Structure 1
Amino acid sequence: MKTPALNLSDIQDQIRAMFPGVAVAVIVAVTAQFLSEHYATPAMLLALLLGIAVNFLGEEGKTVAGIGFSARSLLRLGVALLGVRISATLMAGLGAPLIALVIAGVVLTILFGLFVGKFFGHKWRFSLLTAGSVAICGASAAMAISAILPKDDRSEERLIFTVLGVTVLSTIAMIAYPVVVTTLELTDLQGGVFLGGTIHDVAQVVGAGFSISEQTGDTATLVKLIRVAMLAPVVLVTSLLIRRFDSTPVEGKRPPILPGFVVGFLILAILSSFGVIPEFIKDFLSQASRWLLLTAIAAVGMKTHLKQVLSVGGAAIALLVTETLFIAGFILVGIRLLS
């Protein structure tokens, strides 16, 4: 039986229905970026908090459909476009031992989070969400992993809490970790690997790295991109495992083997690594990705009640902090051993 094709009138109706909500999410994202530039505060954190402050817009009225679209579809598109940041050629310059250390840090942090999560009273979904965000790239990873996890009535609360938590911890790390690098007298290369291999969000990695030296900043950014590149394989493996072992229905259907946004991420990463994409297009798509993710997290905030998020409890905070300390300790010990 054929599915009837959408005609132009249907598309126009959908655009009209989505526009108010998408427009509100964009306004919140732009406001967050403006405040971020003037008050040196992470834009993701501000977008989330501003979204929560106007969460009534996500409950009823003309904005509901567009906010839902922004939180779901714009999120996936933003993650897919992250692929343009990957360059296998630049990463290879670090050398196999350091690349292996960073990849091992990602994998072991996720496994560690899944293991210790039960001791903090959390099930595998929340443990995977927090560990994946700590191990890979903070808020972006949290949103990507959340997109393929089986949904329940607390899914959005867990996502908001994780984004909020890793963003705050990443900001603290941006301030504290350069002090650690200086105190331990790490070289520019070692300091860059430590900062890029441990701080959650890309912006904070850049801020911390270049606060020490240009070489440390360059190395930290490069190492961070290796962790970002791990997003696709982690999401793919997670999708396969969920499909194989979890019997919970996801909105009435099984999760896809390979989500479309991961396919997009991989294609762009491959094209970027082979130098097929012109530099100005890469810059444009990278900025587009950032704005899409900022808009998406603003929309997620508008769908969430802060009281419900905070009800996740102190054990969740302890879990995030423990995972953060684990990856910091692992990378630091690895650097010492390799040197």
Structure 2
Amino acid sequence: MLAQLNRAAFGRPSPLLSYTRSLYPGVALAAVIGLAALFLSEHYSAPVMLLALLIGMVFNPLAEEAAVAPGITFSSKPLLRAGVALLGVRVSLSDIASLGVAGFGAIAGLLGGTILLGLLLSRRDWQSGVLTGGAVAICGASAALAISACLPKSKALEQETLFTVVAVTALSTLAMIVYPVALVQFGFSEAQTAFVLGASIHDVAQVVGAGLTVSEETAELATLVKMVRVSLLPLVLCVLILTVSAAGKRDRTQKIPVPGFLIVFFALAILANARVLNEEMADFAAGASKWLLIIAISALGAKTSLRSLASAGGAKVIRIGGLTLALLAASALCACFLPGLF
């Protein structure tokens, strides 16, 4: 009766309002999962992305309900792309310039080599190769989500993305503990240790944590090296979009579609480097990006069951682990034998 009176008084609700209402339960669920993951991360020093993913999987049966599914899908796709777009404020040309030609060249070579190795190890599945190679080479979970957003959508891709996020996050946490101790034991200097940590550990937070176990100066230089890797993400995404477009069966006279989120990514990077965005605005955008990615990975977790993730196979575990060790070895060789890095 109340609903009938409401329609009589105000007319039918607009399509936009109806659509927003249909999204609310799923988005709210993903946000609550993200809040729980952030709380546990801050109190137990665990990776927030990994916690959001694992907690989300617990809610998989609920996420398949008709009332929740639209919001979960919205959180795992449009909100994911919005979070990736806001990563543009983290791109710093001054960081690249301060590292010098030799340092930038070494980092770019390590990044490109890791992605190529990922493609080689993946054999026929090039999408899986670029996803795992890019995640290891650039910035872990964030890079995996960004690369996934540029690839043709499929259920297999979602599962591959989730598996990659779990693997690189776990390996990055392990690297944060093991790498600094091992490098010091092998006699690496602080500058060499900083370069290896920044060039080989997947996640920014883990790079900072690993560097601080040696010294504050090591953490600062390692973070600089890491941010140069992050700054190369837009270049990788552009190459990926061109590759996907060329692989598709499109008429050559048609224009190559450029995702809107990538345009926003570049626009924010330009504005941030031109100092149009002040520090407060850049920090707000970076914080919003983190939140959107946490919500997106929570939704992705809720869409995937533990059984489907476990069926990914040991070969993919070996591949990601092999890429991680190969990047570590190559970074250590660069630190030892390339002149002009420091």
TM-score by length of 1: 0.92
Quote the offset at 1:150 in angstroms. Answer: 2.0
Change (3 A) 1:267 1:175: same
Structure 1 runs not aligned, ≥5 long: 1-6, 249-253
| Aligned counterpart, 1:313 | 313
Give the counterpart of 2:168 among 151, 156, 166. Answer: 166
After superposition, the C-alpha distances for 1:153-203 in whole angstroms (9 at most, x for unaligned) are: 312111111111111011111111111221133233222211111111111
What residue number does 2:233 align with? 231
For the pair 1:106 / 2:108, whether they are aligned, the reply is: no
Hey, what does 1:190 align to over in structure 2?
192
Task: Give the match's secondary structure for 2:153.
Answer: coil
1:203-261 deviation line (CA, Å, top 9, x unaligned): 1111111221111111111111111111111111111111112449xxxxx99632222
Aligned-partner Cα distance in 1 for 2:108–2:13: 47
> What do residues 260-293 of structure 1 show as CA deviations (whole Å, max 9, x unaligned)?
2222111111221222211111111111111110
Aligned partners of 1:114 and 1:124 also within 8 Å: yes
Written as runs of structure 1 = structure 2, the 5 A alignment for 1:321-336 is 321-336=321-336
Structure 2: runs of 5 or more not aligned: 1-11
- Sequence identity of aligned pairs in percent? 44
Residue equivalent to 1:302: 302
Comparing 69-78 with 207-216, greater Cα deviation is found at 207-216
Superposed CA offset, 1:286-323 (max 9, x none): 11111110110000000001111111100000000111
Give the aligned partner of residue 50 of structure 1: 55
Alignment pair present for 1:87 and 2:87 = no
Task: Please state if 1:292 is matched with 2:292.
Answer: yes
Aligned to 1:41: 46
SS at match of 1:93: helix
Aligned to 1:283: 283
Check if 1:203 corresponds to 2:208: no
**SS in structure 2 of the partner of residue 312 of structure 1:** coil
Separation in 2, partners of 1:94, 1:88? 10
Determine the structure 2 residue equivalent to 1:265.
265
Q: Answer whether contact 2:140 2:169 (CA < 8 A) is retained.
A: yes
Tell me how far 1:8 sits from its aligned partner.
8.4
Q: Name the counterpart of 1:3.
A: none
Give the number of the structure whose alpha-carbon radius of gyration is greater.
2
C-alpha offsets along residues 32-80 of structure 1, whole Å, 9 cap, x if unaligned? 0000111111000000000001111221231111111000011111111
1:4 is aligned to: none
Which amino acid in the other structure matches residue 304 of structure 2? T
One-letter amino acid of the counterpart of residue 114, structure 1: L
Question: Which amino acid is 1:336 matched to?
Answer: C
The range that moved more, 165-174 or 325-334, is 325-334
- Structure 2 CA distance for partners of 1:255 and 1:310, relative to 1, 3 Å: farther
Mean Cα deviation higher: 54-63 or 167-176:
54-63
Native 8 Å contact 2:114 2:133 kept in 1: yes
> Could you list the runs of 4 or more consecutive aligned residues of structure 1 that deviate by over 6 angstroms after TM superposition?
none
What's the offset of the Cα at 1:98?
A: 0.7
Pairing 1:23-172 to 2, within 5 Å after superposition:
23-118=28-123, 123-172=125-174
Structure 1 residues 133 and 64, CA gap change in structure 2 (3 angstroms): same
**Is 1:16 aligned to 2:21, yes or no?**
yes
AA partner of residue 47 (structure 1) = A
Q: What letter corresponds to residue 140 of structure 1 in structure 2?
A: S
Q: Are 2:177 and 1:175 equivalent residues in the alignment? A: yes
Q: How far apart, in 1, do the equivalents of 2:191 and 2:271 lie?
A: 28
Q: Could you tell me how far apart the structure 1 residues matched to 2:225 and 2:25 are?
A: 39
Q: Which amino acid aligns with 1:72?
A: K
Aligned letter for 2:336? Answer: R
Verify the 8 A CA contact 1:134 1:324 in the aligned structure 2: yes
Query: How many residues are aligned here?
Result: 325
Structure 2 counterpart of 1:251: none
- Change over 3 Å in CA distance of 1:245–1:203 after alignment to 2: same
Asked if structure 1 preserves the Cα contact closer than 8 Å seen for 2:92 and 2:231, the reply is no
- Distance (Å, rounded) in 2 between the aligned partners of 1:181 and 1:99: 22
Check conservation: 1:239, 1:255, Cα contact below 8 A.
Answer: no
Give the aligned residue type for 1:74.
Answer: L
